[in-house]
Amino acid sequence: MRSETAPAIRLEDYQQPAYRIDTVHLTIRLQPNETEVVCATSVASRDGTDAGAPLILDGDELTLVGIALNGKALDEGAYSVTPERLEIHTPPAEPFELVITTRINPDANTKLMGLYRSSGTYCTQCEAEGFRRITYFLDRPDVLAVYTTRIEASSKDCPILLANGNPVDAGRIENSDRHFSVWHDPHPKPAYLFALVAGDLARVADGYQTMSGKQVDLNIFVEHGNEAMCGWAMDSLKRSMKWDEETFGLEYDLEVFNIVAVSDFNMGAMENKGLNIFNDKYVLADPETATDQDYANIEAVIAHEYFHNWTGNRITCRDWFQLCLKEGLTVFRDQEFTSDMRSRPVKRITDVRLLKSHQFPEDAGPLAHPVRPRAYHEINNFYTATVYEKGAEVVRMLKTVLGAADFKKGLDLYFERHDGNATTIEAFLTCFEDATGTDLAQFALWYEQAGTPVVSVKTRHDPGNRTFTVDLAQEIPPVPGQKNSKPALIPLRFGLVAANGEDMETGAADGIEIANDTMLLEKARQKVVFSDVPSKPVLSLLRGFSAPVRLDQHQSEDELELLAASDRDPFNRWQAVQTLAMQELLRLTQLARSEKPLTPSQSVLDLFGTVLQDAELDPALKALALTLPSEADIAQEIGKDVDPDAIHQARQRLRAEFALTHRSALLKALTDHMPTGTYSPDAQTAGKRALSNRALHYFAVSDAEETAQRVWERFSNADNMTDRISCLTLLVHDGMPKRNEALKAYRLRHENSSLAMDKWFMVQATAPGSDTLKLVRSLKSDALFDETNPNRVRALLQSFATGNPTQFARVDGTGFEFIVESVLEIDKRNPQVASRLLTSFRSWRALESKRCALAESALLKISSCEELSRDSRDIIDRTLQ
């Protein structure tokens, strides 16, 4: 039987720490397997703490070497210690100096939390609870201290020594082959923002002058040989710094800003004060190895981490329940940045697709949780789409509800009032209430309630009284552990579209509060009556996706076609096309399920043709409109008794029929929009490339000899990764004759680029077709597969589990078994990567009964395993609940 699960940590149990730590002086003597950490802190009891209350410090796999208080070694009876905990039984009442020496083993650290080595470089990851793997500490975000860090290491192996803040000293260590450097960070910060890096790295240097005229040194550190791949990241950094000054008046606050790229990293990147550490896939780019999407991701992640300097670092979280305070707000900020750098509608559609494909299923399954959770077993499992993406949607709604000017007032007050604090969502919302006089009590429910509200809509026009009535209702479907959901405050941006495609002018609306173009739905049901509506309008609701809700609204094909053709809101134009495509895909899936012939409807084919040939439409938007909902999207829409094979058949059928119907227009689009000249990752050119490749994606489905030849040639002649990888995907996924030749050629070309090889693994892992599982198994033993590298694990295993619905959910259950085996292997060395892989089962109950039963027995196998990490235990328990 499995061991007892530890009790959950609860928001309601929050208590201030008993002690403060005001300053930290760290001396870290780096050795690959015996690093010594001396941590000297000044500690004081907090007001209200009983005299002599024990000081309890967190640890994790630590070895204590020594402990001294006010300069004297502590008697053994004065403290007790385990690898996880150090208690000083009765500390003095007056402030005191505590010096703790620990020994750690960076080379043995496979969890990639705390101090570890990646390709020889020492680096740290302390969020959320990694600092306790370096020294015993009050490892919680509401303990803010000023850090001074001295690093000592071999001069030869580690010419570069970095830590948070500004460099203050450096030199040789006498009579040794070692050197040191000292860094001081004047800004008090929680331990999760601590970082150090030491290694033999190349430096790409630049500079930035802030709006008040201060000069900041900017550096990006990478492995030797990668210097030429840092230009885009550096450019993105400078644009981020400028944008934050112009948009929010926020300036950088240290003399240096350092970025380090490492190849072994559990997450995307980390905002450590003055020393951001990145997964190298969000730093390194050149046209040879990075796609347009990679360039866009780098720009966004660089911005995200930089923006954390204010939203996260200067103002941090009181406890980990408040994670969305920094993450939701910072995602909102990076989304706005991208919108300003690129195309706002394209960015909005991209973000909503991500939200719907990642957050909606999370919110509809066993892992659902509020944007601000109330309980957790393992905080690492709460770096979720709900906290990040829905968290950003909530901030966006706040802006919509208050209006841009009042939103700005509230945010300005937040920066002014809470600079230097570790704070909460309540305090954040209070700033907006105080600055604008708005009561946000109902709005706050967005942070408290899990589940995606469903807004149902019924409309009718009465020509006699010239009224247009909209019946609105909202409801949150059942969520595990959440009873009696309350109505949320839902901002619904809308327009009433006339037959000519323009927005109608109408008389007043009764029954709801409307500000500008936004209705505020606040009750469970509301009847809205518009007066002076001369003719029957089409309701364009949820423009710009103004709230993270599902709409239950039955619009006719004609109505949707009108919106698709002429809604002035680009998001809803896209949405109308998607809705029509989805309806058709649901119908075809139904037919496939009952083994009837699949005949796509002419009207959808025509609509796609119209979109394809619309000369006005921005290519990037067109490419998005012509992208069919994914198989996972369709599964989600179906919601229960899901048969992935039927979905796959339906989608492939529609794709093929579209290709057949519009062959010449597709050919024209794919050639006309193919950019010429030297590669540029800018949004416009990338949009054209996206459209050209989207056209090719359809065109390629025909089995004509010349088609395969065309794809092969485009693959072989591609001068950039975007084209090369989209052709390789077609060759492999559509099983074209030269598929193996292409894979070989790609491998030969990119063998030395691990980022490019990740794509090679991913393309194969996501290929439909019943031989994929066998292939993926064999790739797991490929010389280039490395189980210790999280990017590689994600490329092969995670993308198989989440990006290959028919093969993961094979009807013989072997896809599930394979992932279960892999989770159990990986869990031993890296629980975070394993538990993330395990979340790929989150929608298992929606599968048809046979697959559902197979998924359950696979999950039970994990659950019955005795030696499971806390991370995986938490996910498995919730998934099976």
Nearer to Zn ion, 178 or 836 (CB): 836
| Count, residues in the chain | 881
User: Reduced to 3 states, what is the DSSP secondary structure of residue 639?
Assistant: coil
Q: Does residue number 60 form part of the binding site for ligand PHE (CB under 6 A)?
A: no
Helix orientation angle between 772-779 and 754-765, rounded to the nearest 10 degrees: 150
Among residues 152, 271, 299, 305, the one annotated as catalytic is: 305
Least distance from C-beta 128 to Zn ion, angstroms?
Answer: 12
Residue 157 contacts residue 200 (beta carbons within 8 Å): yes
Nearer to Zn ion, 101 or 330 (CB): 330
Nearer to ligand PHE, 383 or 432 (CB): 383
Rounded to 5 degrees, φ, ψ at 423 are -135, -170
Least distance from C-beta 236 to Zn ion, angstroms?
Answer: 16
Torsional sign, CA 720, 725, 728, 730: negative
Choose the contact partner of 395 out of Zn ion, ligand PHE, none; CB within 5 to 8 A by kind.
Answer: none
Nearer to ligand PHE, 146 or 267 (CB): 267
Nearer to ligand PHE, 352 or 833 (CB): 833
CB-hemisphere CA count at 13 Å for 328?
26
Torsional sign, CA 78, 79, 80, 83: negative
Choose the contact partner of 383 out of ligand PHE, Zn ion, none; CB within 5 to 8 A by kind.
Answer: ligand PHE
Choose the contact partner of 546 out of Zn ion, ligand PHE, none; CB within 5 to 8 A by kind.
Answer: none
Choose the contact partner of 127 out of ligand PHE, Zn ion, none; CB within 5 to 8 A by kind.
Answer: ligand PHE
Q: Bridge partners of 73?
A: 68
Give the distance from CA 195 to its chain's centroid: 22
Q: Bridge partners of 20?
A: 44
Residue 251 among the catalytic residues: no
The one-letter code for the residue type at 75 is D
Contacts with Zn ion, 778-797, as mask; x by CB under 5 A: --------------------
Among 58, 60, 152, 327, binds ligand PHE (CB under 6 A): 327
CB-hemisphere CA count at 13 Å for 602?
0
Nearer to Zn ion, 327 or 559 (CB): 327
Among 20, 140, 187, 304, binds ligand PHE (CB under 6 A): 304
Angle at 28 between CA 22 and CA 34, to 5 degrees: 135
Least distance from C-beta 201 to ligand PHE, angstroms?
Answer: 20
Stretch that binds ligand PHE, among 61-69, 123-131, 347-355, 402-410 (CB under 6 A): 123-131
Choose the contact partner of 270 out of Zn ion, ligand PHE, none; CB within 5 to 8 A by kind.
Answer: ligand PHE
Strands 145-154 and 178-189, bridge-based pairing: antiparallel
Between CA 238 and CA 246 the distance in angstroms is: 12
Least distance from C-beta 271 to ligand PHE, angstroms?
Answer: 5
Choose the contact partner of 836 out of ligand PHE, Zn ion, none; CB within 5 to 8 A by kind.
Answer: none
Between CA 590 and CA 264 the distance in angstroms is: 44
Nearest alpha carbon to residue 419 among 209, 192, 248: 248
186 vs 166, 183, 254, 257, 802, CA distance in Å?
A: 8, 10, 9, 14, 44
Residue of closest CB approach to ligand PHE: 267
Nearer to ligand PHE, 278 or 808 (CB): 278
Nearer to ligand PHE, 193 or 401 (CB): 193
DSSP for 600-615 reads --HHHHHHHHHHHH-S
Annotate 385-420 with b (16+ C-beta within 10 A) or e (fewer). Answer: bbbbbbbbbbbbbbbbbbeeebbbbbbebbbebbee
Among 41, 125, 289, 589, binds ligand PHE (CB under 6 A): 125
Stretch that binds ligand PHE, among 124-132, 148-156, 506-514, 615-623 (CB under 6 A): 124-132
Nearest alpha carbon to residue 476 among 382, 364, 359: 364
Stretch that binds Zn ion, among 91-99, 185-193, 328-336, 365-373 (CB under 5 A): 328-336
Nearer to ligand PHE, 379 or 549 (CB): 379
Stretch that binds Zn ion, among 57-65, 325-333, 727-735, 775-783 (CB under 5 A): 325-333
Nearer to ligand PHE, 305 or 871 (CB): 305
Cis before 581? omega within 30: no
Strands 513-515 and 518-521, bridge-based pairing: antiparallel
Choose the contact partner of 617 out of ligand PHE, Zn ion, none; CB within 5 to 8 A by kind.
Answer: none
Contacts with ligand PHE, 227-266, as mask; x by CB under 6 A: ----------------------------------------
Between CA 578 and CA 560 the distance in angstroms is: 10
Contacts with ligand PHE, 260-299, as mask; x by CB under 6 A: -------x-xxx----------------------------
Least distance from C-beta 830 to ligand PHE, angstroms?
Answer: 13
Least distance from C-beta 308 to Zn ion, angstroms?
Answer: 6
Among 60, 98, 112, 127, binds ligand PHE (CB under 6 A): 127
711 vs 652, 705, 759, CA distance in Å?
A: 18, 10, 18
Between CA 576 and CA 495 the distance in angstroms is: 14
Contacts with ligand PHE, 354-383, as mask; x by CB under 6 A: -----------------------------x
Nearest alpha carbon to residue 381 among 877, 845, 881, 805: 877
Binding site for ligand PHE (CB under 6 A): 125, 127-128, 267, 269-271, 304-305, 327, 383
Active site residues: 305
| Interacting residues with Zn ion (CB under 5 A) | 327, 330
